[in-house]
Amino acid sequence: MEELVEQLKVQIIKQLNLEDIEPEDIDPDEPLFGEGLGLDSIDALELIVLLEKEYGIKIENPKDGQKVFFSLNTMAEFITEHRKK
């Protein structure tokens, strides 16, 4: 799962245009929203696109995203369980 977390760091930085952030800056347990990386509602929707594009997982309701995207670790766990790609 560590490899997936590292992969996610790179993907997120790219998909969300996090210009001044390096992979090593992201703590996989840290909340992605609110404080942490300060992501917003559009970023949450972009993460939903990322999940579908890279891992074949479809989230239909943005509210379901809240738990999944809490941190990189929760994302990685969710992907490991549900991935189709």
Partner 1 sequence: MKQVGIKRYCHVKNNKVYLDGALIFEDVQNDTMKSFLKSAYRNFKIKYPKFFKMDEISKLGFLAAEVVLQNIQKNNIRESEIGIVLANSQSTLVTDKVHQESINDLNNYYPSPSVFVYTLPNIMIGEISIKHKFRGENAFYIFEHFNTEFVSDFIDMLFTDGKVKACLGGWIDQSEKDYEAFVYWVEHYDNKVFCPEHTGALVRKLYEKF
Partner 2 sequence: MVYFLSDNIISSLGFSTNENFQALLAGQIGIRNIDDKKYYPDPFPASIVDTDLLDQNFNLTETSANYTRLEKMLILSIDDALKKTDVDVQSKRTGIIISTTKGNIDLLEPQHQNKFDKNRVLLWRLGEIIGNYFNNPNQTIVLSNACISGVLALNIAATLIKKGSFDNMIVTGGDIVSSFVVSGFMSFLSLSPKPCKPFDLERDGLSLGEGAGTIILGNQSQDPNKIAVMGGGSANDANHISGPSRTGEGSFIAIKKAISESRIEPTSIDYISAHGTATDYNDEMESIAISRAGLEEVPVNSFKGNWGHTLGAAGIIETVAMLQEMRENILIQSAGYSQHGVSKEINVIRENTKADLNVCLKMASGFGGSNASLIAKKIKS
Site residues (vs partner 1, CB under 8 A): 16-20, 38, 42-43, 45-46, 49, 52-53
- Note whether 45 binds partner 2 by CB under 8 A: yes
Q: Interface with partner 2 by CB under 8 A: which range of 9-17, 19-27, 56-64, 77-85?
A: 56-64
* Residue whose CB is less far from partner 2, 35 or 60: 60
3-state secondary structure of 39: strand
Residues forming a β-bridge with 39: 33
Q: How far apart are CA 13 and CA 81, in angstroms?
A: 23
